[in-house]
Structure 1
Amino acid sequence: MNETHFLNCRHNLLQLMEEGVAIITSAPAKIRSNDTEYSYRQNSDFYYLCGFNEDNALLVLIKTSESTKTILFVEAYNDEHALWNGARLGVEGARARFSVDEVYASSEYGGMIKEILREHVNLYIDLYCDSPRIVEAKGAAQALHSMRGIKRHVRSIRDVTYLIRSLRLIKSDEEIATIRQAIAITAEAHHEAMKVCQPMMREYQLQAAMSYIFLNSGAVSEAYGAIVAGGNNANTLHYVDNREELRDGDLVLIDAACEWELYASDITRTFPINGKFSNAQREIYEKVLEVQLRVIEAIKPGIKRDYLQTYSEELLCDALIALGILSGERETLMEVKAHKKYAPHGIGHWMGLDVHDPCPYVDESGESLAFVSGMVMTIEPGLYFRADDESVPECYRGIGIRIEDNILVTQEGHENLSAMIAKSVEEIEGMCQN
């Protein structure tokens, strides 16, 4: 991402704000065990606005009737930290790199925040953030409120995250290009998993094959904990143990993807461990694939996710009837949610800086948002039949299938950003035989 992108993001946020001060904090470093830390992952909202990837930093946006100002607080350069953990950018480095109005050391924030808030009536923060810096800002606002001689002071504390995440819904060209890069690497990893998979491997060995592709391609992290679920394990939706043996004749469901420059991809493929679908596996797989293709085809500006959810459930219910797993009229079955036993999750979610982008699904009146060009959503129907479920024919028991792609809404309709990843029965079997 270039500086122009981040300038535009901050400009758009300031446009949404009324007069006041917005404070957005970096993510804290997190302890993994004793004196070891998890790999650092920046707060997505903070990164969206400035692209700075260090901890103990703050971004302050100030808007008056006449002007705006952006202040970045960063941890000062420290020789000891540079020795043990690497050099920080520091104040001078940040001034040279970022297109902000002022840069100060984070240690100066406490002494400056009361002055920054003086004469402003609105304070925009993450209302659910317990960062000491946010607590400090609220305390400064309360102190100003009680002081005599101040005609204007903070009277309203507002949620800045709703504004930021509303902006994050619509991806810029730069963001879409970054997501494409994450998907391209993920595509190679899924194809590698199909090529190397064979009976008697362990689930973690497939995960390792994919992780090698991620790291060797320069992606520093998975976008989420990988699911590599052989056989009946696929019927545990958030299965992450990835320790069991892959058995001849079973399917394996892989829900795994990388992130690139903090932007996620999110892909699921299900394929036969021995490279060839059985008749029963193929029956279910092609039903799920048909549902996914029809739902994707319906995506265009003006369509709402609520419609896609209902439409997908109707199609999945029809599939269950066709398979002989449910019997009766679709409307009656859906009214009692009979299909939810086998298709329990939603059709998809927003994706971007977070794999589950926490962007709004409804507007301020509670109405479902309509798609507009630039939104990115996963589409991931699935059918799941547990091995011990005697309500389904024996040949289907133990089969769990999900197919997931990442869809960009365009002005003309949609684009499947992950269309290059093998998905039809023929494509998958061909890839598995390579």
Structure 2
Amino acid sequence: MIQEHEYKKRRNRFLKKLKNNTIAIFSSAKAKTRSNDTQYPYRQDSNFYYLTGFKEDNSYLIFVKKNYKTKSFLFVKKKESQDELWHGKRLGKKEAKKRFSVDKVILSGKFKKLKKELKKKYKIDKNAFKVVAQMRLIKSKAEINLIKKAINITKKAHHGVISFDKTSKYEYELQSEIEYIFKKYGSYSDAYTSIVASGDNANILHYIDNKDILIDGDLILIDAGCEYEYYASDITRVIPVNGKFTQAQKELYNLVLQVNKKIIKMIKPNIKRTKLQQKAEIYLTKGLVKLGILNGNYKKLIKNKQHKKYYPHGIGHWMGLDVHDDAPYKDENDKEIKLQKGMVLTIEPGIYISKDDKTVPKRFRGIGIRIEDDILVTKKSYKNLSSKIVKSIYEIESMGYKYKTSP
């Protein structure tokens, strides 16, 4: 759990970066209606939460910097018995004063009036969100611990479905097992909608229908991660429906696995993500040529972007309060930001071959593979935070449920 002193430290860091004689305004997320008078489960805006740790809607945070002196105002909704009857307890002004280290706590009903007055005196700092995004790049010890907790719960979910009896089951049954395990071990929600893509569905990168029956002999690509105290995990594993990989599946899987391992080993401070991307594309393209999926010189194939047909996405992304963390990849001078200690990113090479691709040997058609881990950049190297989630063929087959097909 992140304590108030850390949120205060973040606000102070932000205030130092705030331009003189300006104001910055952050708003809580709005409650979203699902239909008529029912709502989706509420999730706080990530930037607002990063600066406050406050989970209620109808809240605002204003920073003021005048003559290099700063003030912070937190607006919270008034406690009302009828509102609390329907929607739950609120902290209220009195308790907010005790909890938050801000200069002043004000009821949300006064927000519009004060905002109007301040806008007459000061300019709104339009750079505010970029400043917070930059701050979110480097994770504190407390943040890393929450990410580790999320990954540990996600590990239980992935291991659970590897050993799950998949005989005549549907994709959504695996999804429900994953979400059950998330909640069982203390995660309130997933970090994103789980992808449970069997067979050719794995070649749809953001497949979330999860409605098809699992077929003996197919693979299942499972991209699922839980959120713990607002911090995400993001893990992809590929498992066989019947517990055993075919020879063709093994060849493609091991290619992706070796690239995953090689790129992770490259991670250290001062390396660029584009370097990781370039190396991943080289390794994957060489492998695709070796397997007869692509033909020709790997350098020319990459130059002509022919490998993109089978590996269309990036090697990874930042991860933190959001599964795709809202942090920059380039600095204010449009130069790529190098990896630094405390950054967390995913590494996720993949190969996707449509069942309708007649240019590929038949045994490889309809196979989609992605292997994704969550990596922390350390002082001199890296730490694979998801290393305990099995990913070798031997580990997966050993853990997998071995069912007998009907005679």
TM-score (norm 1): 0.90
User: Does residue 1:321 correspond to 2:289, yes or no?
Assistant: yes
Once residues 67 and 381 of structure 2 are traced to their aligned partners in structure 1, the CA distance between those partners, rounded to angstroms, is 40
Match of 1:186 in 2: 154
- Among 277, 299, 320, which residue is 2:245 paired with? 277
Whether the 8 Å CA contact 1:197–1:206 is kept in 2: the answer is no
- Among 54, 57, 81, which residue is 2:56 paired with? 54
User: Does residue 1:101 correspond to 2:103, yes or no?
Assistant: yes
Once residues 396 and 330 of structure 2 are traced to their aligned partners in structure 1, the CA distance between those partners, rounded to angstroms, is 37
Once residues 233 and 402 of structure 1 are traced to their aligned partners in structure 2, the CA distance between those partners, rounded to angstroms, is 13
User: Does residue 1:333 correspond to 2:333, yes or no?
Assistant: no
User: Does residue 1:225 correspond to 2:183, yes or no?
Assistant: no
Question: 1:111-163 deviations in whole A, cap 9, x for unaligned?
Answer: 2224434543x312xxxxxxxxxxxxxxxxxxxxxxxxxxxxxxxxx231111
Whether the 8 Å CA contact 1:23–1:60 is kept in 2: the answer is yes
Amino acid in structure 1 at the alignment position of 2:104: E
Secondary structure of the residue aligned to 2:34 is strand
Once residues 118 and 101 of structure 1 are traced to their aligned partners in structure 2, the CA distance between those partners, rounded to angstroms, is 21
User: Does residue 1:11 correspond to 2:25, yes or no?
Assistant: no
Once residues 306 and 342 of structure 1 are traced to their aligned partners in structure 2, the CA distance between those partners, rounded to angstroms, is 19
Alignment of 1:121-200 (within 5 A): 122-124=123-125, 158-200=126-168
Question: 1:225-253 deviations in whole A, cap 9, x for unaligned?
Answer: 11000111101111101011101111000
Amino acid in structure 1 at the alignment position of 2:245: F
Secondary structure of the residue aligned to 1:100 is coil
Alignment of 1:59-98 (within 5 A): 59-98=61-100
Identity %: 49
Secondary structure of the residue aligned to 2:339 is coil
Once residues 235 and 90 of structure 1 are traced to their aligned partners in structure 2, the CA distance between those partners, rounded to angstroms, is 49
Secondary structure of the residue aligned to 1:271 is strand
Once residues 265 and 75 of structure 2 are traced to their aligned partners in structure 1, the CA distance between those partners, rounded to angstroms, is 46
Q: How many pairs does the alignment contain?
A: 400
Match of 1:116 in 2: 118
Once residues 333 and 189 of structure 1 are traced to their aligned partners in structure 2, the CA distance between those partners, rounded to angstroms, is 38
Amino acid in structure 2 at the alignment position of 1:93: E
Question: 1:156-204 deviations in whole A, cap 9, x for unaligned?
Answer: xx23111100000000111000100000000000000001042311101
Match of 2:405 in 1: none
Once residues 101 and 184 of structure 2 are traced to their aligned partners in structure 1, the CA distance between those partners, rounded to angstroms, is 32
Whether the 8 Å CA contact 1:376–1:409 is kept in 2: the answer is yes
- For residue 62 of structure 1, report the CA deviation from its aligned partner: 1.6
- Among 22, 25, 28, which residue is 1:23 paired with? 25
Match of 1:406 in 2: 374
Whether the 8 Å CA contact 2:310–2:353 is kept in 1: the answer is yes
Once residues 258 and 199 of structure 1 are traced to their aligned partners in structure 2, the CA distance between those partners, rounded to angstroms, is 26
Structure 1, gaps ≥5 residues long: 125-157
User: Does residue 1:241 correspond to 2:197, yes or no?
Assistant: no
- For residue 367 of structure 1, report the CA deviation from its aligned partner: 1.2
Once residues 94 and 111 of structure 2 are traced to their aligned partners in structure 1, the CA distance between those partners, rounded to angstroms, is 16
Once residues 10 and 129 of structure 2 are traced to their aligned partners in structure 1, the CA distance between those partners, rounded to angstroms, is 13
Question: 1:323-377 deviations in whole A, cap 9, x for unaligned?
Answer: 1111111111011111000111111010000101121101112111100001110
- Among 295, 300, 321, which residue is 1:353 paired with? 321
Question: 1:307-330 deviations in whole A, cap 9, x for unaligned?
Answer: 111111111111101111111111
Amino acid in structure 1 at the alignment position of 2:207: Y
Once residues 112 and 311 of structure 2 are traced to their aligned partners in structure 1, the CA distance between those partners, rounded to angstroms, is 51
Once residues 360 and 103 of structure 1 are traced to their aligned partners in structure 2, the CA distance between those partners, rounded to angstroms, is 31
Once residues 356 and 115 of structure 2 are traced to their aligned partners in structure 1, the CA distance between those partners, rounded to angstroms, is 60
Match of 2:182 in 1: 214
TM-score (norm 2): 0.96
Once residues 50 and 22 of structure 1 are traced to their aligned partners in structure 2, the CA distance between those partners, rounded to angstroms, is 14
User: Does residue 1:344 correspond to 2:336, yes or no?
Assistant: no
Whether the 8 Å CA contact 1:266–1:404 is kept in 2: the answer is yes
Whether the 8 Å CA contact 2:271–2:339 is kept in 1: the answer is yes
| Cα RMSD for the two superposed structures | 1.1
Once residues 342 and 115 of structure 1 are traced to their aligned partners in structure 2, the CA distance between those partners, rounded to angstroms, is 56
Once residues 198 and 205 of structure 1 are traced to their aligned partners in structure 2, the CA distance between those partners, rounded to angstroms, is 9
Once residues 113 and 386 of structure 1 are traced to their aligned partners in structure 2, the CA distance between those partners, rounded to angstroms, is 54
Whether the 8 Å CA contact 1:197–1:274 is kept in 2: the answer is no
Amino acid in structure 2 at the alignment position of 1:32: R
Amino acid in structure 2 at the alignment position of 1:107: G
User: Does residue 1:2 correspond to 2:3, yes or no?
Assistant: yes
Once residues 116 and 164 of structure 2 are traced to their aligned partners in structure 1, the CA distance between those partners, rounded to angstroms, is 60
Whether the 8 Å CA contact 1:194–1:428 is kept in 2: the answer is yes
Match of 2:170 in 1: 202
Match of 1:35 in 2: 37
Match of 1:254 in 2: 222
- For residue 80 of structure 1, report the CA deviation from its aligned partner: 0.3
Once residues 119 and 386 of structure 2 are traced to their aligned partners in structure 1, the CA distance between those partners, rounded to angstroms, is 46
